Structure 1
Amino acid sequence: MSTQLFDAIDYLAKEKGIDKDILLEALEAALISAYKKNFKSATNVRVELNEETGKMGVFSRKTVVDEVEDTQQELSLEEAKKINPNYQVDDVVEVEVTPKDFGRIAAQAAKQVVTQRVREAERGVIFSEYSDREEDVMTGIIQRKDARFVYVNLGKIEAKLAEAEQMPTEEYYIHDRIKVFVTKVENTSKGPQIYISRSHPGLLKRLFEMEVPEIYDGIVEIKSVAREAGDRSKISVYAPDPEIDPVGSCVGQKGQRVQAIVNELKGEKIDVVEWSEDPTVYVSNALSPSKVVEVLVNEEEKATTVIVPDYQLSLAIGKRGQNARLAAKLTGWKIDIKSESEARDEGLLDEADETYSDNEESLFE
């Protein structure tokens, strides 16, 4: 055994960021295994490594007994005293049994075991590094794709973007840089697995946190997100300080902040609305860009009936019911939308009470 092996271990420890003691333990285990396999020994042995000299030794460990029943594990008191007169029954005697050609055989076996341990330790380092990134946004490079997955390089690991987590309106091209939301990190038998998404509502939330300093600083809070990835999303925001405009902060000057997020999501339309603890106001805001005449609230069933102008009915409901569906998901309230005419016919709206409430305008039609 030469010092080159220890030099290699030092290099691996620094290059892979692995604890050197882990590699030395792996080497010792490999040498013990090689000894028992190649010399057909069941003896309890210990390996001693000397980093300074680059030498190794294999020592057989035997228990001192009065009568030997197992020569592989036991040594008579008489034989033990020949080695050292101070030995007593039940003491453990170590005798060097290093074979002359053990270095060559051990090196071959050690290479396999150490490689395996290095791989395991490396996986542990990667898992520790990426486990802290759950529910966070990471930037990766698309490496390849097939019918089921888009494979994204996140640095030290490749993550698979499943078809269900892809944006249906988005095309993925090799070498493109994309931002992904890390939904889960697992340490499996095959190594760390990172699950990522482009369609998760968390991606929208994190992008706003990155783009809007007021959100990052806690001046503006994100209360809820509803998303139909690739098509349209709604996000409700709130500022405890009445002097702060939460919607304006998120939109930015001339819409620059929200437009940056829209560009990242390849044109996904985003409605930013103000949160309110008053369900009539909150539901009204959530139905942006539609105008609302009145909101009737049923607290017990957590349901609302929203009355809108006749000409705004289709806008309030949205294409294939999308606007109403997202508003309901955003607020957590059931929403039943009726036109003024229908509401009057059902006696829900007093003609004398036709007060329009101003809504937040949608940024995108």
Structure 2
Amino acid sequence: MNNEFISALKEIVNEKGISEDLIFTTIEDAMVAAYKKNYANTNTSAQNVRVGMNRESGEIKVYSQKVVCDDVFDIVTEISVDEAKEISPKYQLDDIVEIEVTPRNFGRVAAQLAKQVVMQRMKEAERNIVYNEYKGIEYDIITGTILRKDKGNVFVNLGKIEGIIGPNEQMCNEEYIFNEKLKLYIVEVKNGSKGALIHVSRTHPGLVKRLFELEVPEIYEGIVEIKSISREAGSRSKIAVYSNNESVDPMGACVGPKGARVQKVVAELKNEKIDIIKWSKSPEEFISNALSPAKVLRTTVNENQKTAQVVVDDNQLSLAIGKEGQNVRLAAKLTNWKIDIKSKSQAEALEETLEEEKYNQEEKYNEEENDDYEEKYNEEENDNDEEFIVDAVEEIADNVTEE
């Protein structure tokens, strides 16, 4: 192994960010294994050896290690005190003596092995670098280029590695065309046996949030907050926004001048409809806003059960519910409340029915009370009659006795 190889090795170590001590130690350990494998049959001392590499010149030497003992039972691993002192007077009992046993052609074997180890370490280091780089942007947005489709998955070029759009992460109304560039949301970054595995999405609500952060400076700066998002990818989304500055309109900031900001997000999502609503601490107000574009007349909430009863005009009912229930479904996801919507006429009819039932129940209760009173009164009258008869009989008996 020559100086040029060592210089090249150190240069690669610096470029790839690999620890120099780690790479040299790994090479030396690999050489020990190679020595035992190739020379164990010809040299019994191969069972206990150390390989040393000069990190400046690249010179490699193999040493057999033996323990200094009074009585030698195993000549492969032990050496007598007298033999050790012949090598060097400094050796004492239980010291380790190293005897060079470097084979003539071991340098060629070692060089080939070193190259293999370096290549392996370089690959591992590159994989770790890529993994750490993408792990740092997990749950963020990235631009990818469509490469191919395979077994329902779409593979995209993310720069240094490929990402995967799984079947559940693909928008139903979107075609994935080769070489097309798309904004993607990084759902998960895993470190697999072959390197980083990156799963990206076009359907995740986080994609909508990140797109608005890109287009709306007030969101990026923290003046406007996105409190919650509900999404049915490719069809419609609702986002609830709030301003930490009273002078800034959160909805206006997201819409932008002449709708320019929201239109950029809509275009990226292939014309997916986006409702921007104002978030509120008041559940009644928040739920009413969430049902936009429908106008709500009244909202009554049960905070213990997280349910809300909403009343709208008759001509607003279908708008509030939405096509196939989409509007109320997204509103429920956005607010995390169970929402029951009724038209004004339905609510009035229900109230009349409830009032009638209440009246009937009161009437029934009064009748039952009257029946109970009459029965009790009759029982008391009968008891009084019986008492009167008993008293009369007793009085007659007393009179007869006196006579």
TM-score under structure 2 length normalisation: 0.82
Q: Which piece of structure 1 moves more, 40-49 or 137-146?
A: 40-49
1:194 is displaced (CA, Å) by: 1.4
Are positions 1:326 and 2:330 aligned together?
yes
CA shift for structure 1 position 308 = 1.2
Opposite residue 13 of structure 2, the aligned amino acid is A
CA distance in 1, matches of 2:352, 2:115: 81
2:205 aligned with 1:195, yes or no?
A: no
Tell me if 1:60 matches 2:39. no
**Mapping of residues 161-310 of structure 1, within 5 Å:** 161-310=165-314
Question: Which structure has greater helix proportion?
Answer: 2
Contact 1:182–1:195 under 8 Å retained in 2? yes
Matched, 1:86 2:90: yes
Q: 1:171-192 CA deviation, whole Å, 9 max, x = no partner?
A: 1111111111111212122322
- 1:239 Cα offset (Å): 0.9
Indicate the residue corresponding to 2:115 in structure 1: 111
User: Does the aligned pair in 2 maintain the 1:304–1:333 contact within 8 Å?
Assistant: yes
Considering Cα pairs closer than 8 Å and 6+ residues apart, tell me whether 1 or 2 has the greater RCO.
Answer: 1
Are 1:130 and 2:134 matched, yes or no?
yes
Report the counterpart of residue 144 of structure 1 in structure 2: 148
Give % identity. Answer: 55
Q: CA deviation at 1:304?
A: 0.6
Query: Residues 122 and 67 of structure 1: is their aligned pair in 2 closer, same or farther, counting only changes over 3 Å?
Result: farther
Instruction: Please name the residue that 1:7 is paired with.
Output: 7
Tell whether the 8 Å contact from 1:137 to 1:180 is kept in structure 2 after alignment.
yes
Q: Report deviation, 1:93.
A: 1.4
Structure 2 residue matching 1:104: 3-state secondary structure? helix
Mark the CA change 1:145 to 1:15 in structure 2 (over 3 Å): closer, same or farther.
farther
Q: Does the 8 Å CA contact 1:284/1:292 hold for their aligned counterparts?
A: yes
| Runs of 5+ unmatched residues, structure 2 | 354-403
* The structure with more radius of gyration: 2
SS of the residue aligned with 2:198?
A: strand
Give the Cα–Cα distance (whole angstroms) in 2 for the partners of residues 294 and 318 of structure 1: 18
Q: Distance in 1 between matches of 2:352 and 2:330?
A: 24
Q: One-letter code of the match for 1:33?
A: A
1:145-160 matches, cutoff 5 A: 145-160=149-164
Single out whichever of 195-204 and 51-60 deviates more from structure 2.
Answer: 51-60
Code of the residue aligned with 2:8 in structure 1: it is A
State the SS of the aligned residue for 1:9: helix
Deviation at 1:264, TM superposition (A): 1.1
Among candidates 61, 72, 75, match of residue 71 of structure 1: 75
Change (3 A) 1:158 1:69: farther
Scaled by the length of structure 1, what TM-score is found?
0.91
SS at match of 1:4: helix
C-alpha contact (below 8 Å) 2:81/2:92 kept by paired residues:
yes
> Does the 8 Å CA contact 1:230/1:268 hold for their aligned counterparts?
yes
1:22 and 2:19 aligned: no
Q: Which runs of 5+ in 1 are unaligned?
A: 350-365
